[in-house]
Structure 1
Amino acid sequence: MVAVTADWVTFPSGDAAIRGYLAVPTGVERPPAVIMAHENLGVIPHRRRVTEELAAEGYAVLTVDLFSRIGGRPPQEYATQEERRAKAFLAARDEQAVPDLEAGLDHLAARGDIDTARAAVVGFCLGGGLAIVWAAQTDRLSCAVPLYGIPELPAAYSPTGAVRSRIDIADRVRCPVQAHFGGADTVIPLDQVTRLTDALERSGRPTEVHVYEGAGHAYHDDTHPNHRPEAARLTWERTLAFLGEHL
């Protein structure tokens, strides 16, 4: 573990100014890059803390604020939690969010003090699905680690009004993938995890899919009611090992 410096940064993505929370390890020459993709709640204090914790392991970590265009928070007008989640996913739809993640990597590359030839994406929930999508579109990633990314987005979460499947594209990922799911996740049926695993393995890239018995959605977040300390600890250990192997 090393000391880190952390602060907000701003960078362009198309015509938009995107912000991100960047944590860089001190005293580490040209550290590898990790782009972090947040859950549907945005860059909450927990996400900023995890950004710093991962940077303390020797990585330059940028959590891209995928809600930058609407003030840095997910949509705030909703009647139910389901509507809240749907509006958040629509505000960070693939067509916009993946280029924003790419722009974050461009920002790190332009600094000159970060080795973006060694780059990974780590995503949570909404960001976990985006990690799979991005990994299927780019050769710039050395590996991807999605945590409880929804394999099949419900129609209400999709800008097309139809189910948006990450399973259908998972066999096209271009880098090793390590995915993590809760065995008691009421948001993600286990049959979707099974089908996603099969698709990832068809890619021919190294694939690990871990399911944690009794863990629900968002189990890694120690500020969430679903937090499961043992599953979170093991997920973090496996994530660090995977990043260490491929970066």
Structure 2
Amino acid sequence: MSDSMRTSTVRLAGYAGDEVEAYLARPEGGGGSRGGVVVIHHMPGYDRATKEMVRRFAELGYDAICPNLHFREAPGAAPDDAAAVARANGGTPDEQLVGDVAGAAAYLRGLGGSNGRVGVIGHCSGGRQAVLVGCRLEVEAVVDCYGAFVTGTPPEGFPLKVTNLVAELPELGAPLLGLFGAEDSFPTPGQVEELAGILTEHGKAHEFHSYPGAGHAFFAVDRPSYQVAAANDGWERIAAFFGTHLAG
């Protein structure tokens, strides 16, 4: 682990060959090959807090990248403004999301020193999207941090055009780490239990942890929902999980 790294804004080929902006962080020094991590940002967008997570994965020894899912709607706009446009459009379509993450994973695998192993992680809407990626793309590890509507049904009037992933879960091709707040409403503890049951039924490797007293967005250091103990334990579990599945 080292805090010496290089960061840059790059462009990659996303869904349908579209050029997509992305934030890249790479550790400096150290020989040998290393895995990569695609970070899927939450609905508030390609923001400072998400970029800090990308840098944290570089500190852990991975090449890490976050594609800007809202780049098409509002190139160059502030994250809040771009997110508002994306939300008004119903969010990022699933096919587009998968194409952008596929481009990000290919970018990581094409870097010098890559061992070809890529994990994906997402928070909130990104948690659901990370599970979707695990069902549709070849990745080595998936982390879902309180992703809503992997199971369950969005309430009437919900602004994002999303459906649950129950029909896709039998196709999950990578181990899944799930980190949830026991006081969360999206997903509820019952929906988390339902997800665990479906994965068990289909023989899918998974490891779930729910944190008492934590609600939604407990990893978000810039929000009142931040829970220090839960977030610190979650980061330790993420590091161990990726260390198991992305090494070698």
TM bucket by the smaller chain? 0.7 to 0.9
Q: Name 1:221's counterpart in structure 2.
A: 220
For 2:146 and 2:181, the matched residues in 1 are separated by 7
CA offset at residue 220 of structure 1? 0.6
Give the 5 Å matches for 1:95-114.
95-114=95-114
Q: TM-score, normalised by structure 2?
A: 0.88
Identity of aligned residues (%): 27
Cα distance 1:192–1:137, how it changes in 2: closer, same or farther (>3 A)? same
5+ long unaligned stretches in structure 1: 79-83
Structure 1 residue 74 displacement after superposition? 6.2
Cα separation, 1, equivalents of 2:54 and 2:129: 17
8 Å CA contact 2:98–2:136 kept in 1: the answer is no
- Deviation at residue 77 of structure 1 after TM alignment: 9.2
Q: Give every structure 1 segment of 4 or more consecutive aligned residues whose post-TM-superposition deviation is greater than 6 Å.
A: none
Equivalent residue for 2:52, pick from 38, 49, 52: 49
In structure 2, what is the Cα distance between the partners aligned to 1:20 and 1:189?
32
Shift of the alpha carbon at 1:89?
A: 8.0
Letter in 1 for 2:224: P
In 2 relative to 1, CA 158–31 (structure 1 residues): closer, same or farther, beyond 3 Å?
same
The Cα of 1:179 is off from its aligned counterpart by: 0.6
Structure 2: segments with no counterpart, 5+ residues: none
Q: Which residue type is aligned with residue 105 of structure 1?
A: A
Instruction: Give CA deviations for 1:90-136 in whole Å, capped at 9, x if unaligned.
Output: 33121111110001111222333322x21100111111101111111
Paired position in structure 2 for 1:26: 28
Work out the CA distance in 2 between the residues paired with 1:175 and 1:113. 22
Determine helix, strand or coil for the equivalent of 1:121.
Answer: strand
- Whether 1:17 aligns to 2:24 is no
Equivalent residues of 1:98, 1:134 under 8 A apart: yes
In the superposition, the TM-score normalised over structure 1's length comes to: 0.88
Deviation at 1:168, TM superposition (A): 3.3
The 1:70–1:214 alpha-carbon spacing in structure 2 relative to 1, beyond 3 Å, is: same
Amino acid at match of 1:68: F
Residue number in structure 1 paired with 2:194: 195
Structure 1 pair 74/168, CA: closer, same or farther in 2 (3 Å)?
farther
Tell me, what secondary structure is at the counterpart of 1:50?
Answer: helix
Q: In 2 relative to 1, CA 96–178 (structure 1 residues): closer, same or farther, beyond 3 Å? A: same
Aligned-residue CA RMSD (Å): 2.3
Give 1:4 deviation, angstroms: 1.2
- Higher deviation after alignment, 182-191 or 229-238: 182-191
Question: Once the two structures are superposed, what CA deviation does each residue of 1:169-228 show, in whole Å capped at 9, x if it has no partner?
Answer: 223211100011101113322211111111122332321111111101110111111000
Within a 5 Å distance, the mapping from 1:165-184 to structure 2 comes to 165-184=164-183
- Measured against aligned partners, the alpha-carbon deviations of 1:33-54 in whole angstroms (never above 9, x if no partner) come to 1111011011111111111011
Partner of 2:205: 206
3-state SS of 2:90 partner: helix
Amino acid at match of 1:164: T
Q: What amino acid is aligned across from residue 92 of structure 2 in structure 1?
A: A
Equivalent pair of 1:21/1:64 in contact (CA under 8 Å): yes
Asked whether the 8 Å contact 1:35–1:122 carries over to 2, the reply is yes
- Whole-angstrom distance in 1 between the partners of 2:89 and 2:57: 25
Aligned partner of residue 201 in structure 1, secondary structure:
helix
Partners of 2:166 and 2:105 lie apart in 1 by 25
CA contact (8 A) 1:40 1:85 kept: no
Q: Report if aligned partners of 2:71, 2:82 keep a CA contact under 8 Å in 1.
A: no
1:97 is aligned with what amino acid?
A: L
Q: Which residue of 2 aligns with 1:4?
A: 5
Conserved 8 A contact 1:185-1:217: yes
Match of 1:58 in 2: 61
CA deviation after TM superposition for structure 1 residue 240, in Å: 0.5
Partner of 2:235: 236
Q: Bigger CA drift: 101-110 or 172-181?
A: 101-110
